[in-house]
Structure 1
Amino acid sequence: MMAFYRKRGNKWEYRISYIDRRTGKPKETSKGGFRTKKEAQLAAVEAESKIQHFGFAENGRETIKKYMEDWLEVYKKPYVEKITYSVQERNVRLNILPRWSHYKLKDITRTEYQKWINELRENYSEGTVRRIHSIFKSALDDAVHEFRIIRENPIQKVKIPKDKESSKEIKYFTKKQLDLFLKEVKKPQKNAKYQHSIQYFVLFSLMGRTGIRIGEALALTWDDFDSNNKTISINKTLIYPLNSQPYLSTPKTKKSKRIVKLDKVTVNLMKKHRINQKEVILRYENYKATDKNIIFHQHDGRWLRTNVVREYFKVVCKRANLPVLSPHALRHSHAVHLLEAGVNIKYVSERLGHASVKVTADTYLHVTNKIEDDALTLYENYVENRDRAKTGQTSSSNTQNPNK
């Protein structure tokens, strides 16, 4: 890296030559308008420091393509979970770069970006667009505050068009529907390859009676099940990317790591499944034991595939003549049933592993609203009965003592 200085008119300018660490090609950056050579030298030292430390030097003249690729590789990949990086990289590659790759950082305008966001909402859900925007905004925030290569974030106050209220409704089974679903899972199927296995019945029962996520359920090993204390330990989640190898990751949030208490029925089912698992291995020649002590696994001992579970779930819904939902509906169902039973919302939040009670309240708004209405009705009845009782006592008292 080398800096050169020259005087143009009555002002000084610096020019820095350096090798781009990503491409290996020579590059230059320059800036003028300094009153003295000393000022130019001081500014050049600061610019060289940025090049050395960040790899970004040009004041907003970096292309979005180069900036985003470097930002992901150098400043995200080593510091975030593998699944998080995978989602970020995919959104940058498939959504952000096709539209913005040839733009320079300084060329992005709020109006043009807002138009793009509006176009995205025509094809994607609010949640998906929020994720795409969040990644881009985070990258540009770093360009402002960390690397100082642009003065402000042009997409800071961009608005995401919201979904219609009806699309936010959660999907779940009523208690009766859940019973029908589980009865259907339990029924032996003529064409089933491993008819003696009760694995899916236990898996869906466990999810429906604990509210654990599908990834948390599939990541469970027998070491996580404590039959004496009647608990399961949620300390990992299975990530099964499409066309890629599965891997274990940390739970979704800090509070997702938790101990979940099991009811007696579920404890007995888990014990029965442990025995059944061994029986199935002995009964079917090509059914192998798992070397990872996995509770729910494929016939060859590997992790059960999430997409296979989802498809099987849909098939059962159709057989039971129920709404065709996803396994995540079991989590919602458990939460709704707990709240309808009058369980404290803080307990429900902790059991589900939500980041906060607010998340639980917002997610199950229709249930919490009903709880509030019921509570208010109880209060009104209490007050009315108390007032009636007082009125009755007064009337009785006056009748008995008319001269008082």
Structure 2
Amino acid sequence: MASFRKRGQNWEYRIVFIDRQTGKQKEKSKGGFRTKKEAQLAATEEESKINHFGFAENGGERVDSFFDDWLEIYKRPNLKPITYTLQERNVRLNILPRWGKYRLKDITRNEYQKWINELRGHYSEGTVRRIHSIFSTAMNDSVHEFRVLRENPVQKIKIPKQVDKSSKVAHFTREQLESFLDCVKAPVKNAKYQHSIQYYAFFTLLARTGLRVGEALALTWDDIDFDAKTLTVNKTLVYPLNSQPYLSTPKSKSSERTIKLDEITIKQMKRHRINQKEVCLMYKNYKPTKDNIIFHQHEGRWLRTNVVRDYFKEICKRAELPVLSPHALRHTHAVHLLEAGANIKYVSERLGHASVKVTADTYLHVTKKIEDDALALYERYVQK
């Protein structure tokens, strides 16, 4: 039931109600109406909404304050540390600079859609989708968990599509990969550990297995069965910025896998295992690893992901190739397998993708060629 009073020249309404979720008595008031009639009409509309939703909207909280609570209460306890770190980083670097000073109830769909369109000018479709997913999930929780908004203001947002899907799959051709690995293997004048073949082994393994960088860095010699010629992926190395590295479970359940290794990779890894011991004997400050790690720094700890990335780019420049990231070797392996005629389901399982659809969508430009080639084979068959 609403009550009304006049304050100065204006009228104000006050509604007392029971919040259906908490069972507690609450109130909602609003002033600034020129006449009592205007206040009565507004109160009637608000009562109707309270009866429908079961609570009064209270979106006056600032976005930055809301996200602080949301991350701490709903995200940190339920996410892997690396996933939480990525989400917190996206909130801090992308969402709050634009929306932090807004009140929740001031976010409009049109303004938000314009912002999403602007983001696509700076980021890939996938990155924008991740940012939007974080924002929309938070707004859903503001409705259903925090109960400060009645509706998610960023529903039914359209993410501008990738015009050329093949452009997002950076990879090397066979010739480029050969040039890259030749450049890695070539001796570098004044290199600190010239006898080491570690980086050649590391990049060869990525290019011939499609492992993610974190999966490869986490490997120990126990993960390779040289007799069965298999490699088991059951962990990944996480190297947060300005923090200590740690081992975590793989990206998803399907990422846990055992894959076959080809003969060249087996020989290279055996050669690296011998070379690893030789390097420790040859250089006084190069210490053996205590944890049986396959790829490690001179003091025996895991290789740093940023060091691997920087060295990879240095090799690209030295070999006069497109400057890509180490993840491009994963794409390279997948593309080469598909171009060689490998079954897409096999490729999907080898990469540890959640589904064949992920593989097909990612390598659309290759799978379309496979489809065309298969149809051409069929046409030649039926014409005989």
TM range (shorter): 0.7 to 0.9
| Cα distance change of structure 1 residues 92 and 12 upon mapping to structure 2, 3 Å threshold | closer
Alignment of 1:139-158 (within 5 A): 139-158=138-157
Question: What does residue 66 of structure 2 align with?
Answer: 67
Q: Is the 8 A contact 1:64 1:105 kept in 2?
A: yes
Question: What does residue 183 of structure 1 align with?
Answer: 182
Report SS of the residue matched to 1:76: helix
1:163 to partner: Cα distance: 3.5
Q: How much identity, in percent, do the aligned residues show?
A: 68
Q: Deviations over 1:169-228 (max 9, x none)?
A: 422222222222222212222221111111111111111111111111111111211112
When structure 1 is superposed on structure 2, of 89-98 and 211-220 the one drifting more is 89-98
Q: Distance in 1 between matches of 2:366 and 2:2?
A: 72
Q: Which amino acid aligns with 1:355?
A: A
Q: Which amino acid aligns with 2:294?
A: I
Q: Distance in 1 between matches of 2:313 and 2:2?
A: 72
| Cα distance change of structure 1 residues 309 and 6 upon mapping to structure 2, 3 Å threshold | same
Report SS of the residue matched to 2:16: strand
Q: Distance in 2 between matches of 1:368 and 1:166?
A: 12
Q: Distance in 2 between matches of 1:69 and 1:319?
A: 45
TM normalised by structure 1 equals 0.80
Q: Which amino acid aligns with 1:144?
A: V
Q: Is the 8 A contact 1:29 1:58 kept in 2?
A: no
Whether 1:284 and 2:287 are equivalent positions in the alignment is no
Q: Is the 8 A contact 1:64 1:103 kept in 2?
A: yes
Whether 1:207 and 2:209 are equivalent positions in the alignment is no
1:122 to partner: Cα distance: 3.3
| Cα distance change of structure 1 residues 98 and 330 upon mapping to structure 2, 3 Å threshold | closer
Question: What does residue 164 of structure 2 align with?
Answer: 165
Q: Is the 8 A contact 2:124 2:162 kept in 1?
A: yes
Q: Deviations over 1:251-282 (max 9, x none)?
A: 12221111111112211221221111111111
Question: What does residue 262 of structure 2 align with?
Answer: 263
RMSD over equivalenced CA pairs, Å: 2.8
Larger radius of gyration: 1
Instruction: Name stretches of at least 5 consecutive residues in structure 1 with no aligned partner.
Output: 17-27, 34-38, 48-56, 386-404
Q: Which amino acid aligns with 1:373?
A: D
Whether 1:253 and 2:256 are equivalent positions in the alignment is no
1:381 to partner: Cα distance: 0.9
Q: Distance in 1 between matches of 2:380 and 2:123?
A: 47
1:108 to partner: Cα distance: 1.5
Question: What does residue 196 of structure 1 align with?
Answer: 195
Q: Which amino acid aligns with 1:316?
A: I
The number of residues matched between the two structures is: 352
Report SS of the residue matched to 2:316: helix
Q: Distance in 1 between matches of 2:121 and 2:342?
A: 40
Alignment of 1:3-402 (within 5 A): 13=16, 30-31=27-28, 59-165=58-164, 168-385=167-384
Report SS of the residue matched to 1:77: helix
TM normalised by structure 2 equals 0.84
